[in-house]
């Protein structure tokens, strides 16, 4: 158990194993617990870092809404690498964590050894599409404020997340899940690092986004995990781990 502290906000992270570093970021309303099967699979050959985003799990839930943003997530990720004495790592994430991965690479390409983008998307070029996404994110925040944690789905990633209450999640929905620009999607053709794009076969809402990323990122590897939904790593851990380990094993 460890924490970094930035501007008075404690952010929880875990540091497992030894070897080339891999930093994994969870999806919205999940936490670092969602990666337990991946930690078990990798820790004998890799140094695996997992963490809880602000408002999630064992991290702090700041009352200030401005403490929740993509930029704060990127700064938290960089601070975790600093705390572990790491200049660089393979950066990977699922859903919201995948968005954070792209944003981290945009801010710190020199600290990104490779990217792993799981069941995620790169944001939106068109304002109308971004506004529609944000309406959904803000509606989710409203439900969390009205209903508390009972507003969340019953998926394993969420059920085992260990949230103390829903206040941070509501702020995170408005400040981190919502999209505010097109920088990530515009950056795809300029990514010059090895990239794995993975999606569950049943995660049909994210198929267009993953197809787009795989086509736009030079040399990207695309993997579809059969009989897996949005949390492909939990639905089919053996197949997910095989794809991830194959990609990591191919890095020089």
CATH number of residue 112's parent domain: 3.40.50.1820
Give me the residues paired with residue 198 across strands. 118, 223
* Strand partners for 92: 24, 116
Q: How far apart are CA 156 and CA 44, in angstroms?
A: 25
Identify the pLDDT of residue 160: 77
Residue whose structure tokens are 């617990």: 33
Give the model's pLDDT for residue 76: 98
* Cβ proximity of 194 and 247 under 8 Å: yes
CB 198 within 8 A of CB 117: yes
pLDDT in the model for residue 161: 81
pLDDT of residue 153: 76
pLDDT of residue 193: 97
Predicted pLDDT of residue 98:
97
Count of structural domains within the chain: 1
Which residue(s) pair with 93 in the sheet?
25, 117
Q: What length is written for the chain? A: 252
Low-confidence ranges of the chain (pLDDT < 50): none
Lay out the sheet containing 221-225: strands in order across. 2-6, 9-16, 47-51, 21-25, 89-94, 112-118, 195-200, 221-225
Q: What is the pLDDT of residue 15?
A: 98
Residue 176's alpha-carbon distances to 170, 203, 220, 234, 244, in angstroms, are 10, 21, 26, 23, 26
Taking the whole predicted model, whether its pTM rises above 0.75 is answered as yes
Residue span of the structural domain in which 206 resides? 2-249
- Report whether 113 contacts 90 (CB < 8 A): yes
Phi, psi dihedrals of residue 7, rounded to the nearest 5°: 50, 40
């Amino acid at each position: 158990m460890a924490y970094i502290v930035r501007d008075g906000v404690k952010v929880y992270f875990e540091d497992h194993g030894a070897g080339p570093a891999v930093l994994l970021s969870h999806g919205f309303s999940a936490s670092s617990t969602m990666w337990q099967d991946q930690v078990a699979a990798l820790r004998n050959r890799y140094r695996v870092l997992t963490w809880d985003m602000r408002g999630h799990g064992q991290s702090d839930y700041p009352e200030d809404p401005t403490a929740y943003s993509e930029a704060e997530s990127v700064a938290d990720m960089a601070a975790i690498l600093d705390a572990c004495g790491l200049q660089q790592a393979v950066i990977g994430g699922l859903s919201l964590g995948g968005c954070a991965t792209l944003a981290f690479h945009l801010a710190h390409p020199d600290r990104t050894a490779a990217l792993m983008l799981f069941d995620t998307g790169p944001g939106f070029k068109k304002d109308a599409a971004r506004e529609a996404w944000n309406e959904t994110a803000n509606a989710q925040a409203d439900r969390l404020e009205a209903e508390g944690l009972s507003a969340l789905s019953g998926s394993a990633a969420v059920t085992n997340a260990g949230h103390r209450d829903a206040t941070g999640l509501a702020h995170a929905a408005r400040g981190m899940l919502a999209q505010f620009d097109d920088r990530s999607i515009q950056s795809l053709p300029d990514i010059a690092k090895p990239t794995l794009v993975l999606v569950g076969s049943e995660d049909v809402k994210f198929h267009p986004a993953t197809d787009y990323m795989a086509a736009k990122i030079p040399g990207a590897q695309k993997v579809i995990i059969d009989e897996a939904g949005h949390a492909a790593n939990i639905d089919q851990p053996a197949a997910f781990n095989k794809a991830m380990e194959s990609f990591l094993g191919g890095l020089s």
